[in-house]
Amino acid sequence: MNPPASTDIGSQLITLMAVLMLVVQLLMIAQRMLLTNIRLFAIQSLLLAGIAAVVAYYHDASHVYVIAALTVIGKVIFLPRLLNRLVQRIQIHQEIEPLLNAPSSMLICGGLTLLGYVVARPFTSLERLGNNTLAIALTLLLTGFFLMINRRKAVTQVLALLTVENGVMLAAVALTTYGMPLVVELGIFFDVLVAVMVLGILVYRIRENFASMDTGKLNQLKG
């Protein structure tokens, strides 16, 4: 059994990395450069892998090590390279016209952050490591959905979907079970991986047919 001091250190590390994940999320919302957003997503995923590794170490949850390793391989290395190559191929590097400008977006995200903390407050007793980690996870979910709605470029919407999944995984490792059963986590991970690869093909086809990555162009397909 780990001594209380060690558990406190683990809790502080998880809290710090969870807060940094939220900071990176807010930077993604304010940032319009696609390549920069891809790098920010990789950083956020690396922080998530770090949280999983800390949970696995302090609570002898060996299956969480598997999730940490898959997160590094899939979300820190493979998917960012895939999306980076896609952006280079379609030669569109910047989000031109989000629905809301940066100040309005940050104001809304501030409200979503407050909402996340209010919703998570009744469940704080379920957290064993990290203070307000569940609240941050809910905030990642809410702001990820907002990013998906606010941006028109398909690549940014793919990144938003991935940040939502990061929020789900953070919530899973923050609760008393220290992660969902391994088979469930693996299922979610590979589902997201396949979804992103399919969306990557879709993005290229949108660009090829409409000379744009604006998903609003799909309305032209209505008969």
What integer pLDDT is reported at residue 49 of this predicted model? 92
Query: Residue 13 falls within a domain, yes or no?
Result: yes
Span 12-21, pLDDT tens digits: 898 999 999 9
Residue 102 or 97, more confident? 102
Query: Residue 105 falls within a domain, yes or no?
Result: yes
What integer pLDDT is reported at residue 206 of this predicted model? 58
Q: Got the DSSP string for 98-150?
A: -SS-HHHHHHHHHHHHHHHHHHHGGGGGG-SSSTTHHHHHHHHHHHHHHHHHH
Query: Residue 135 falls within a domain, yes or no?
Result: yes
Query: Residue 50 falls within a domain, yes or no?
Result: yes
Query: Residue 217 falls within a domain, yes or no?
Result: no
Instruction: Kindly tell me if the per-residue pLDDT of 52 is higher than 70.
Output: yes
Query: Residue 145 falls within a domain, yes or no?
Result: yes
How many independent structural domains does the chain possess? 1
User: Which pLDDT band holds residue 100 (cuts at 50, 70, 90)?
Assistant: confident
Q: Got the DSSP string for 157-207?
A: HHHHHHHHHHHHHHHHHHSTTSSS-HHHHHHHHHHHHHHHHHHHHHHHHHH
Query: Residue 222 falls within a domain, yes or no?
Result: no
Give the range of the structural domain holding residue 207, as residue numbers without chain letter.
4-212
Rounded CA separation 80/74 (Å): 8
Residues in the chain: 223
Mean pLDDT of the chain: 78
What integer pLDDT is reported at residue 171 of this predicted model? 82
Q: Which three-class secondary structure state does DSSP give residue 153?
A: strand
Span 106-155, pLDDT tens digits: 999 999 999 999 988 887 666 666 678 889 999 999 999 999 888 877 77
User: Are the C-beta atoms of residues 22 and 136 closer than 8 Å to each other?
Assistant: yes
